[in-house]
């Protein structure tokens, strides 16, 4: 270890990148002398897709192999991949004698799920915090991300997949006091890289099986009722071809209509049986902002709205907003719904942990936060449509947020810049620049 430490210091001093560092010759010689007279098989979990000549480390394989030893290794352990073309990996190989890969299209649905169970078991095994976790939970997390990759995030043009860890908890796939830590660990492990056409073939086959938990509906698809836990709909037509209501078993529902200056209206009674709905994302939809049809969903934890508009109706029914009591995440993208961020509605959102606002009035709502949303952990406001009022003091809006760990948005950057310019004597007497920017919470 002393030799290794000294070599690391020398490399650091000379500015050598870690990838350029050479093996310690003396250590390699000891390894070679130890292993040269034995026959062995080496199993190597390679995290990348580049071949490594382990012979340079003193292991008698590759060009140093004198006893016909063998190495079995895997590629891309850092992500779950699904690709048509494996030639990009194969053409990099020099010492590999046989390159094997699985044609995933030839697998049945049960075989594909079996592979996911094996992958889940290995992820759980190498993460001590997960040893008491049922691998089936991780399989559901993998399928959920594939389900979103399949079509919805492409049709909506927004990266809803980045909310995966929120979906897993809001859908109740992951529950309990350790849910956040488990989600963070899973999120590092589950990283799909897929060819779109291959993914469509695999998931289309998967949806034919009764045990498949999700349904993806696109134009020209015929809706068939079933006990689906997750449903994604991307549609250009106003008629949902037989889908009058969301199935009672559904916990996550994603709907994206075609982009239009006049978004299509949600059917009446669409959420009538959605007592278990935990995740709801609507894109380019119209509904009554005064009395949305999903306000009676008692378990709604994630509400995402993208380019939705108010469909004013006569005689709106102002019933109790049950969905706000259970809400954990509110994500508004280019949806001017002022009422939901009013003081009255914020008083109902006692469990909200994350608030994301993009492309609408944003910073004007900050003053409403004082003594409200006490469990708020993350706040993100970007691309606001209204200019920041420099006279507005918002520091006290966050002093009561004991759980706050992240604030992101352009206004803080503006104030930091104003403070710097004021110190340099270029701001004048506005009063804003003379104050230091808010401390990180």
Two tokens, residue 191: 């990283």
Answer whether 275's CB lies under 8 Å from 299's CB.
yes
pLDDT at residue 160, rounded to an integer? 60
Neighbours of 253 (CB within 10 A): 23
Look at residue 373 and tell me whether its pLDDT is greater than 50: yes
pLDDT tens by residue, 11-69: 888 887 765 666 667 788 898 899 888 888 888 877 676 777 787 788 887 555 556 78
- What is the pTM (predicted TM-score) of this model? 0.73
Instruction: Give the mean pLDDT of the chain.
Output: 76
pLDDT at residue 434, rounded to an integer? 28
Look at residue 275 and tell me whether its pLDDT is greater than 80: yes
3-state SS assignment for residue 331:
strand
Q: Which residues pair with 192 in a beta bridge?
A: 80
Helix ranges (H only) for 287-350 are 322-326, 343-346
pLDDT at residue 329, rounded to an integer? 94
pLDDT tens by residue, 195-243: 767 777 777 777 776 567 888 887 667 777 778 899 988 876 656 556 7
- For the segment 347-366, the average pLDDT, to the nearest whole number, is 84
pLDDT at residue 302, rounded to an integer? 95
Look at residue 171 and tell me whether its pLDDT is greater than 70: yes
Look at residue 356 and tell me whether its pLDDT is greater than 50: yes
pLDDT at residue 422, rounded to an integer? 44
Do the strands 378-382 and 354-358 form a parallel or antiparallel pair, or are they unpaired?
parallel
Range picked from 61-65, 285-289, 302-306 for highest mean pLDDT: 302-306
Q: For residue 431, what pLDDT band results from cuts at 50, 70 and 90?
A: very low
């Amino acid at each position: 270890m002393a030799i290794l430490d000294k070599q690391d210091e020398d490399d650091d001093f000379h500015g050598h990148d870690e990838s350029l560092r050479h093996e310690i010759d003396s250590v390699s010689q000891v390894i070679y002398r130890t292993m040269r007279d034995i026959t062995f098989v080496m199993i190597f979990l390679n995290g990348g897709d580049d071949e490594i000549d382990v012979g340079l480390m003193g292991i008698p394989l590759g060009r140093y192999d004198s006893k016909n030893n063998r190495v079995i290794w895997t590629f891309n352990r850092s992500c779950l991949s699904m690709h048509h073309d494996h030639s990009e990996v194969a053409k990099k190989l020099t010492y590999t004698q046989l390159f094997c890969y699985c044609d995933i299209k030839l697998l049945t649905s049960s075989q594909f799920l079996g592979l996911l169970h094996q992958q889940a078991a290995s992820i759980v095994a190498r993460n001590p915090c997960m040893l008491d976790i049922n691998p089936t939970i991780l399989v559901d997390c993998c399928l959920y991300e594939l389900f979103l990759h399949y079509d919805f995030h492409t049709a909506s043009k927004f990266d809803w997949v980045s909310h995966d860890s929120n979906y897993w908890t809001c859908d109740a796939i992951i529950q309990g006091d350790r849910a956040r830590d488990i989600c963070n660990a899973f999120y590092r492990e589950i990283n799909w890289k897929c060819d779109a056409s291959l993914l469509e073939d695999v998931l289309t086959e998967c949806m034919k099986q009764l045990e498949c938990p999700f349904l993806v509906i696109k134009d020209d698809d015929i809706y068939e009722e079933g006990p689906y836990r997750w449903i994604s709909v991307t549609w250009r037509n106003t008629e949902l071809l037989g889908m009058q209501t969301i199935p009672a078993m559904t916990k996550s529902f994603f709907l994206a209509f075609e982009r239009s200056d006049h978004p299509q209206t949600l059917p009446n009674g669409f959420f009538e049986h959605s007592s278990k709905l935990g995740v709801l994302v609507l894109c380019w939809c119209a509904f009554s902002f005064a009395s949305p049809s999903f306000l009676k969903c008692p378990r709604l934890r994630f509400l995402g709205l993208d380019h939705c508009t108010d469909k004013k109706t006569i005689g709106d029914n102002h019933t109790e907003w049950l969905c706000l009591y259970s809400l954990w995440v509110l994500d508004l993208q280019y949806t001017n719904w002022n009422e939901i961020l009013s003081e009255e509605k914020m008083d109902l959102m006692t469990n909200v942990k994350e608030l994301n606002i993009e492309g609408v009035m944003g910073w004007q709502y900050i003053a409403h936060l004082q003594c409200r949303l006490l469990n708020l952990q993350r706040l993100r406001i970007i691309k606001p449509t209204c200019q920041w009022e420099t006279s507005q003091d918002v520091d006290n809006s966050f002093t009561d947020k004991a759980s706050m760990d992240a604030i992101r948005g352009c206004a803080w950057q503006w104030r930091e810049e104003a403070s710097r310019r004021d110190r340099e004597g270029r701001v004048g007497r506005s009063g804003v620049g003379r104050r230091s920017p808010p401390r990180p919470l």
